[in-house]
Amino acid sequence: MKTYIAKEQEVEESKRWYIVDAEGKVLGRLASQIAHILRGKHKPIFSPHQDVGDFVIVINAEKVKLTGNKMEQKTYFRHSGYIGGTTFTPVSLMLKKHPERVIEFAVKRMLPKNALGRKVFKKLKVYAGTNHPHQAQKPEVLDIKA
């Protein structure tokens, strides 16, 4: 079976904007479904080497839920490149200071680690509160069961 190659015009016509409310949703389940939509795997014209996905706006990122003991135990790792330059940031602190990054990190790590993944990731817009500047795109509400 041959891989279907969508034409550029078909891809542009099929791009849509979705809005997702993260309030009370479990982080990992939410992130995996967002990554699925960003890649375009829910469409019949999906091709693994093309960007056919949709745009996703996530609101209420600060109210996302973590299961188990992740709030106390989960950390994010960074390294400055210098000796002893490791930094471990607990997820509880990250949710207080930069709640958008928690969802962004979760989704980004579920996308391909190549140029296509970086291009797809740019279609994710995450906001801590309920306000967002994308009303002109007329986003459709996407009900994610997470």
The domain ranges of the chain are: 8-67+96-141
Of 128, 77, 76, 142, the C-alpha closest to 98 is 128
Q: Within the chain, which residues score under 50 in pLDDT?
A: none
Architecture label for domain 8-67+96-141 = Alpha-Beta Complex (3.90)
Query: pTM of the full predicted structure?
Result: 0.92
144: its two tokens: 């994610």
Q: Rounded to the nearest 10 degrees, what angle do helices 27-39 and 99-108 cross at?
A: 60
Rounded-to-integer distance, Cα 52 and Cα 8, Å: 9
> In this predicted structure, what is the pLDDT of residue 146?
65
Q: 65 pairs with which residues across the strands?
A: 26
3-state secondary structure of 137: helix
Tokens representing 122?
A: 């740019």
* CB-CB contact of 23 with 63 (8 Å): yes
